[in-house]
Amino acid sequence: MAEGDKETRSSAIAAFVILLGVALALLVMPKVVLWVGGYSPVLAAALGTLVILAFFLIFWLRARYQRRRGDQD
């Protein structure tokens, strides 16, 4: 297998795992937010916001890592 194919496959697997994890988190999030909302609506809104922002943060950090790793080659 060529080096480029291996990197592409690795990136695709990593993206799939991240998306699967985020999908599971988003599937459970409404119940958790409603439960936390029983104690504090502000805390529930903050939790929902953090979960959504975490999706973008994960991909941003991965892109930074990939860029750094590519510069060293």
Q: Which two tokens stand for residue 50?
A: 């953090």
Q: Where are the chain's structural domains?
A: 3-72
| Tens-place pLDDT, residues 8-66 | 788 788 889 988 988 998 899 999 999 999 999 999 999 999 988 988 898 888 888 87
Q: What is the pLDDT of residue 20?
A: 92
φ, ψ for residue 9, nearest 5 deg: -65, -40
Q: How confident is the model at residue 73 (pLDDT cuts 50, 70, 90)?
A: very low
pTM here is 0.66
What does the buried/exposed string (b/e) look like for 6-29 if buried means 16 or more CB atoms within 10 Å of the residue's CB? eeeeeeeeeeeeeeeebeeeeeee
Distance between CA atoms of residues 39 and 24, nearest Å = 24
